[in-house]
Amino acid sequence: MSEDEINPVEVPNPPIEPETPLESAPISSTPTQTPWWVSDSQSLSSTLTPITPTKRVVQVTWYLALAMSLIAGLVGALIGRSAFDNSSHLITSNKIIDRAPDSIAGIAARVSPSVVEIDSTTSTGSDTGSGFFIAKDGYIMTNNHVIEAAVLANTKITVKLANNKEYTATVVGRDTSYDLAVLKIDVSDAPALVLGNSDSVQVGDPVIAIGSPLGLQGTVTSGIISAKNRPVTTSSDNTAGESAFIDALQTDAAINPGNSGGPLVDATGAVIGVNSAIASLGSTIQGQPGSIGLGFAIPINQAKTQADQLIKTGTSHHPIVGMSLDSNFAGPGAKIADLASAILAGGPAAKAGLQPGDIILAIDGQDISVADDLIVAIRSHTIGDTITLKYKRGNVIKSVQLTLIASK
């Protein structure tokens, strides 16, 4: 199509604008500074004419200023507090621990009021041990070696309760062969402990020992039963050469001097043993041996039999077979002494046909290593029990049954 064929377009004359007053600025022909969101065909003034948001902007600015003022004040207060606060800001907790009745803490809380400290003084020094109530009328069980020096010196024995009240104790009776004693104080409603069944104790059972080691009253330690039927022999300088033979419960609960006579309790709080001895490798405070995790307790079944006799008669008896053993025989086995008097006339051993020189190899199927093992095994029984002894005479091994009788 040629230029001649282009149709002319009529352009209307533009209206004549009124003359701009001298005070007004001339309209510039350069591009405007119109924001990108406003069309160039629109007047900037017409686009931004609505000024309604102005008030809203003022409100936001006021709240913002207020908030900033509050924040600034708070920060200033914190800074000021930090500058003058000398506390360490350690994290603390006010949560209450729920201790079950069968927890160590729960058992200790129930048993501790029944455990006492026993003190005595002689010309050679003072002794401290432990004990516990076995009857409401003031009977207390303890070890003989705790009070023996005071008994022989005829000095006072003091019992201190958990509430720090003190009483003078009387000796009801004591048994050197089992290292047991019973005391009594003048009270009528003592918190007696429940005596359990030591025969039902198993290795690994949890236990708690309570007493006054080194005079530290109310000390609680815990552990397990490490072994049963441990033959333990204890001696005392104050007895006429007589030793105590214990078929002991072994525990790793810490037991130290002063724990002697205190209770060893099971997970129910029942007494299963009387803490009596420890094995030690050396000395600690005041030259006394300390715990190495080898503690021994008299089984309560044995202890309560002797305690019952002491309370009823003031004396007690232990089972015997009526023979004397050779303490120098190294074993294996326990040898009847090569003396004519070694066999008690009319006693169980004599009736069973045992003779001096016979070597006892086992009792009730339990092997015997040395003489102490046999004595401990016999004393773990009660008077009237029937036992079986395996013995060797020359090259012949035999077995015999006999019934235990009471010692004189």
Backbone angles phi, psi at 297, to 5 degrees: -130, 145
Under CATH, what is the fold of the domain 319-406? Answer: Pdz3 Domain (2.30.42)
Residue, of 147 and 22, whose pLDDT is higher: 147
Residue 344, both tokens:
């008690």
Per the confidence metrics, is the pTM higher than 0.75?
no
Residue 41 catalytic?
A: no
Residue 381 catalytic?
A: no
Q: Catalytic one among 114, 119, 120, 145?
A: 145
Q: In degrees, to the nearest 5, what angle opens at C-alpha 326 toward C-alphas 315 and 328?
A: 120
Residue 257 pLDDT more than 80?
yes
Question: Cβ(242)–Cβ(144) under 8 Å?
Answer: no
Residue 260 catalytic?
A: yes
Q: In which residue ranges of the chain is CATH 2.40.10.120 found?
A: 101-316
Q: In which residue ranges of the chain is CATH 2.30.42.10 found?
A: 319-406
Q: Measured between alpha carbons, how far is 71 from 73 in angstroms, rounded to an integer? A: 5
Query: Span 188-216, mean pLDDT?
Result: 93
Lowest average pLDDT, out of 17-21, 96-100, 179-183, goes to 17-21
Mean pLDDT (the chain, rounded): 80
Categorize the per-residue pLDDT at 213 as very low, low, confident or very high, splitting at 50, 70 and 90: confident
| The CATH number of the domain covering residues in 101-316 | 2.40.10.120
Please list the residues that pair with 366 across neighbouring strands. Answer: 363
Residue 45 pLDDT more than 60?
no
Query: Span 283-309, mean pLDDT?
Result: 78
SS3 320: strand
Q: Catalytic one among 119, 127, 175, 179?
A: 179
Q: In the prediction, which pLDDT does 340 show?
A: 86
Lowest average pLDDT, out of 116-120, 261-265, 284-288, 339-343, goes to 284-288
Question: What Cα–Cα distance (Å) separates residue 218 from each residue in 34, 43, 200, 215, 315?
Answer: 91, 96, 27, 9, 30
Q: Catalytic one among 236, 260, 291, 316?
A: 260
Residue 80 pLDDT more than 90?
no
SS3 209: strand
Q: Measured between alpha carbons, how far is 265 from 246 in angstroms, rounded to an integer? A: 18
Q: Mention every residue, 6+ apart, whose C-beta is less than 8 A from residue 243.
A: 233, 234, 235, 236
pLDDT tens-place string over residues 352-373: 999 999 999 999 988 999 888 8
Q: In the prediction, which pLDDT does 91 show?
A: 81
Q: Mention every residue, 6+ apart, whose C-beta is less than 8 A from residue 47.
A: 34, 38
Query: Span 327-337, mean pLDDT?
Result: 90
Please list the residues that pair with 323 across neighbouring strands. Answer: 343
Lowest average pLDDT, out of 87-91, 238-242, 330-334, goes to 238-242
